Amino acid sequence: MARKILTEHINTPGIETFEVYRQKGGYTAVEKAIKTMTPEEVVEEAKKSGVRGRGGAGFPMGMKWGFLAKPEGVPRYLVCNADESEPGTFKDHHLMKCIPHLLIEGMIISSFALGANKSFIYVRGELMYVIRILEKAIEEAKAQGFLGKNILGSGYDLELIVQPGGGAYICGEETALLESLEGKRGNPRNKPPFPAVKGLYQSPTVVNNVESISNMPWIINNGGDAYATIGIGRSTGTKLISASGHINKPGVYEIELGVSVEEFLNSDEYCGGVRTGHHLKALVAGGSSVPILPANLITKTANGEDRLMSYESLSDGGFATGTMLGSGGFIVFDETACIVRNTWNFSRFYHHESCGQCSPCREGTGWMEKVLHRIEHGHGSMHDIDLLVDISKKIEGNTICPLGDAAAWPVASAIRHFRDEFVWHITHPHEASQPGAVYQGEMALA
Amino acid sequence: MTESPNLVAFTPERQEKVKEIIARYPEGRQKSALLPVLHVAQEQWGWLSSEVMDHVAALLSIEPVEVYEVATFYTMYHLDPVGKHVIEYCRTGPCCLMGGEDVYGYLKQKLGIEAGQTTTDGLFTLKEVECLAACGWGPVFQIREKYHMNLTNQKVDEIIEELSK
């Protein structure tokens, strides 16, 4: 069994309660950090661990903490991004629901490190039942002296607030999240200034993902150096992978970064293989926004090396033959899946979720959805394929936030690797538009 | 259908809740309470009429337009009357791979309505939503705070029957 940092006790009955979490060694890291370490020492451990942002961007968390401005007399904020909404991603949902105290312990340690006295967990509003679980856990921690005034007699005060969103994918973008937390529409801000200088209420702010912060208790108990020995290269530690689609065992799995894609997909410890009686056609490894790969590029890179579950290996070959680890949303497609239909579905998602601020994204996502809809429904023309590529290029890199890129990549990659399937939809409109119709020709080999 | 409120006031318990929410934020930042307070309002009235939004604006000392622009941006807020139970059905890719489209077709047929409509008895409103972050347990729909997962036609029958009692 692989080493577990986040999920070791996740199946322990009662782990959602303070009592059981504490019995399993919970909150010892808070005691260690607050009683024996300075905030700077905690930041140093985060830096040494090499832990990277688990929401999708993969930016080193310790380095992000290092950018936080510390002007005298100005409050600083830590905001946890629990707006998990990227299609294919449901790990934070699982973690917060099952073991809420892990995030709370991580929030206390991280807030102490950053000198924040009021911290927020921004949870997507649909997860109201999880918000209630977190609020209950916060009450318990408070009653035990781990939150509130003068924590463990240290003189350090921390108030933890759970904020519900209102249903908007865009609020997973950190500056949109801050706007939303201020009670506004979730329109991403122009950067600079970055949140580390001007974030929530124009004060220095750090925004970190649930999973990133949840690593902190282990890092404090065992040391950043120990964390950095797990994983491979610059992909240190473990990662939660949300596995969905055509596999035998969908669910959330904690892997040591560096396990091979082959093992993750086929081993009984994880996905248990493509669903019985079917075979792999395509895979989205890191949430709907990362490039889709055909079967032949999933377990091996274009150079014939084993593809690993790590930031570097998944992106090997760039977008020509690689993809990204992203948020770890691992979506598996077998031969019954229609790539055109799925691409249209994802496009509809991004069109629906575009905040409308930047024209290339607001208009472009709608055009892509429309063009894909007509190809899927038997009304496409050959020109439409190039038109889609053209639109995607005009969105990519031309928007305030990365939603534009996220909308462009799935379309561009589907055409790159599965062009035959688009062509077939256009040349065989009647067959292709039948419910459940799937291109049966030779699988597109990149 | 939920009636449009004649007299706009939170119940005493919700009034307390709203007060507690507003007190969470630094002084002068009470606008941060807007999203959570709108959730409390929707819990009480089922949907957000302009009277309710104006009331929330007054409570937070902000302009009504600041409430409207937020309520129209976020998909969870209902701006029209809804049925007793709002079924929010996930239509995004991973759920579709798990047979989400077939189950959705069955649900629509069973209720006799399309997305955005309410059954004539006022019991169910159907709404299509994007990814609910439960892809491994798809197909999924949500009714109020509850996630109904691993849906099948049979499960749909059971849920609708239970809620129709």
A251 neighbourhood in chain B, CB within 8 Å? 136
Give the model's pLDDT for residue A2. Answer: 78
At residue A446 the predicted structure's pLDDT band, cuts being 50, 70 and 90, is: very low
Residue A87, pLDDT score: 98
What is residue A444's predicted lDDT score, i.e. its pLDDT?
Answer: 41
A-chain residues within 8 Å CB-CB of B75? 166-168
A92 neighbourhood in chain B, CB within 8 Å? 133
Output the pLDDT for position A68: 96
Q: Kindly report the nearest CA distance between residue B132 and chain A, in angstroms.
A: 7
- Kindly provide the ipTM of the predicted complex, given to two decimals: 0.95
Is B105 part of the contact surface with chain A (CB cutoff 8 Å)?
no
Distance from CA of B91 to the nearest CA of A (A): 8
Range A80-105 average pLDDT:
98
Q: Between residues 43 and 72 of chain B, which touch chain A (CB distance below 8 Å)? A: 60, 62, 66, 69-70
Average pLDDT along chain A: 96
| Per-residue pLDDT, A442 | 59
Average pLDDT value over all residues in chain B = 95
Asked if B17 is an interface residue toward chain A (Cβ–Cβ < 8 A), one would say: no
Q: What is the mean pLDDT of residues B80-94?
A: 98
DSSP string, chain B: -PPPPSS----HHHHHHHHHHHTTSPTT-GGGGHHHHHHHHHHHHSS--HHHHHHHHHHHT--HHHHHHHHTTSTTS-SS---SEEEEEE-SHHHHHTTHHHHHHHHHHHHT--TT-B-TTS-EEEEEES--S-GGG-S-EEETTEEE-S--HHHHHHHHHHHH-
Structure tokens at A349: 């998602």
Q: Which residue has the higher pLDDT, A271 or A434?
A: A271
Per-residue confidence (pLDDT) for residue A441, from 0 to 100:
78
Percent of chain B whose pLDDT exceeds 70: 96
Q: What is the mean pLDDT of residues B46-57?
A: 97
**What pLDDT was estimated at residue B1?**
44
Give the model confidence (pLDDT) of A26-85 as tens digits: 999 999 999 999 999 999 999 999 999 999 989 999 999 999 999 999 999 999 999 999
Q: How distant is the Cα of B101 from the closest Cα of chain A, in angstroms?
A: 10
What's the pLDDT score for residue A376? 96
- A218 CA: distance to closest CA in chain B (Å): 26
3-state secondary structure B68-115: HHHHCCCCCCCCCCCCCEEEEEECCHHHHHCCHHHHHHHHHHHHCCCC
Given the DSSP bridges, would you call strands A235-236 and A231-232 parallel, antiparallel or unpaired? antiparallel
pLDDT of residue B8: 87
Tell me, what's the pLDDT at A305?
Answer: 96
Q: What is the token pair recorded at A46?
A: 């985060």
With b meaning 16 or more CB within 10 Å and e meaning fewer, what string describes A258-272? bbbbebbbbbeebbb
Q: What confidence score (pLDDT) does residue B6 get? A: 52
Whole-number pLDDT of residue A326: 96
Query: What does the pLDDT look like over A124-163, one tens digit per residue?
Result: 999 999 999 999 999 999 999 999 999 999 999 999 999 9
Q: Is B7's pLDDT higher than 80? A: no
**Interchain contact, A163 vs B36, CB within 8 Å:** yes
To the nearest whole percent, how much of chain A has pLDDT over 90?
A: 96
Write out pLDDT tens, residues A222-277: 999 999 999 999 999 999 999 999 999 999 999 999 999 999 999 999 999 999 99
Question: Under a CB-based contact definition with an 8 Å cutoff, are residues A331 and B97 in contact?
Answer: yes
Tokens of A386: 């190039």
pLDDT average, residue stretch A304-316: 97
The answer to whether residue B83 scores a pLDDT higher than 80 is: yes
Q: Is A353 on the interface with B (CB under 8 A)?
A: yes
Residue A298: pLDDT band with limits 50, 70, 90? very high
A430-439, B33-42, B142-151: segment of lowest average pLDDT = A430-439
